[in-house]
Amino acid sequence: MADMTASGRDLAPHDPTRRAATVRIPFPARLSPHAERARRHSLLWVQEMGLLTDAATGEYDTLRLERLMAYFYPDAGGQDLELAADFNAWFFIFDDQFDGRLGKRPEAVEALVESLVRTMSADAPRWAPGPADPPLVRAFHDIWHRATADAPDDWRRRFRRHWSAYLTSHQEEARNRTGDRLTSLEQYLATRRNSIGVQPCLDFTERCGAYSLPNSLHDSAPLREMREITGDVVIFVNDIVSLVKEMAVGDVNNSVLVTREEKGCGLDESVAYVAGLANARTARFGQLAAALPASLAARGMSAEARRYVDHYVEGMGHLMAGNLAWSLATSRYDQRGITAVSDGRQRPWASLAAASADPDVRQSPQRAVGPTAGRFGADKSPRGQLAGS
């Protein structure tokens, strides 16, 4: 396998990651007015869960991860956005565990994943993290139960399936980092569509809207393809903007690097190709969205069901547009972010997977549950619950 390590200087002065601005996403990037409230809440939560120390708070806060969720769910109520900010914080802190030694140890990743998946098992209500469980497990237990409180069974099972796929995909990514050669772009996407985390985020779109799409509608051909497009666009944008950062840590799980290897081209050409893939997919998304109303009418869907689908499709646009807007603004991918992980350095929260839970760390799983629990059963928006249509 070719050496994929590099520093930010290797691509200067013509940093190809800026070409993410050429990705055409024809949806508005709107920011929730509750972003600052979500920021304050989530900073407290990550500290209470033992995911972040006081010393690391400043560096973490520069990433402004809550703004990504404020773009994803611009119409979400304050408490819904707080929960979204918490699970997004968990997403990124979990992801950073793989920039170091853990990312190249598939067997260690498997053990961590098993402990996290157990949190979502049928026995989960009777299982609670113990003193031997690391903060990552305790924090995941907290957000899982807060997110699924009083959720419809079908939605909960779907949410669990998507989270499980997200978690287990990190084992395959660890194997990719230790292989003799890079995978093909098709193989890469098969894994990355899970590890990018888009599917659980789209499930949360339903939760924010206080409805749950029936499986027959959720799994129908137009929506299934549109979800895949949404994930692919997020992947391609993420891979372009994070390219220099990932080269700095030697991570090969990036479509730009996979394309460069597969086509035998330079980085500039590879970035342009991946940006073109993103643009082709957004164009296809527009075609599918335009044909969707007639398709739903032909299926005899009620006006209420069509409103929920409209909200869901709008949510996909928020994910694509918001990911691009946030990615071009966060310090995670600029020179500060690259320096933070260059030359063997790691983020200060990147060694939690092996750490034991601190019994002195105070947990408060009920603090956000009260008003947030029962989200599906309460009509807290103009939308109510969609049942069985």
- Residue 45: exposure state from Cβ atoms within 10 A (0-12, 13-18, ≥19): buried
The pTM assigned to this predicted structure is: 0.87
Tokens of 373: 């629990």
Is-contact 151 212, C-beta < 8 A?
yes
d(CA 90, CA 163): 12
d(CA 339, CA 41): 28
d(CA 212, CA 220): 14
pLDDT (0 to 100) of residue 174 = 77
d(CA 79, CA 371): 8
- Whether residue 363 has pLDDT greater than 60: no
- Whether residue 262 has pLDDT greater than 50: yes
Residue in the structure block whose two tokens are 């190809």:
16
**Higher pLDDT, residue 240 or 346:** 240
Q: Which residues contact 227 (CB under 8 A, 6 or more apart)?
A: 198, 199, 202, 316
**Higher pLDDT, residue 282 or 353:** 282
Angle of CA points 55, 56, 60, to nearest 5°: 150
Task: Taking residues 39-57, report their average pLDDT.
Answer: 95
pLDDT band at 17 (very low <50, low <70, confident <90, very high): low
- The model's pLDDT over 187-228, given as tens digits with 9 standing for 90+, comes to 999 999 999 999 999 999 999 999 999 999 999 989 999 999
Give CA 386 to chain center in angstroms.
25
Task: Taking residues 83-108, report their average pLDDT.
Answer: 84
pLDDT band at 100 (very low <50, low <70, confident <90, very high): low
Of 153, 211, 175, the residue nearest 376 (C-alpha): 211
Among left, alpha and beta (phi > 0; psi -120 to 50; other), residue 217 is alpha
pLDDT (0 to 100) of residue 13 = 38
pLDDT (0 to 100) of residue 109 = 79
pLDDT (0 to 100) of residue 173 = 81
pLDDT band at 6 (very low <50, low <70, confident <90, very high): very low
pLDDT (0 to 100) of residue 15 = 65
d(CA 143, CA 120): 11
Is-contact 375 207, C-beta < 8 A?
yes
For a pLDDT cut of 90, what percent of the chain falls above it? 62
- Averaged confidence pLDDT in the chain: 84
- The model's pLDDT over 125-154, given as tens digits with 9 standing for 90+, comes to 556 667 678 899 999 999 999 999 989 999
pLDDT (0 to 100) of residue 366 = 32
- The model's pLDDT over 296-318, given as tens digits with 9 standing for 90+, comes to 989 899 999 999 999 999 999 99
- Whether residue 65 has pLDDT greater than 50: yes
- For the ranges 107-111, 120-124, 265-269, 335-339, the lowest mean pLDDT is seen at 120-124
Residue in the structure block whose two tokens are 């957004």:
282
pLDDT (0 to 100) of residue 99 = 72
For a pLDDT cut of 70, what percent of the chain falls above it? 81
pLDDT band at 353 (very low <50, low <70, confident <90, very high): low
pLDDT (0 to 100) of residue 21 = 76
pLDDT (0 to 100) of residue 97 = 85
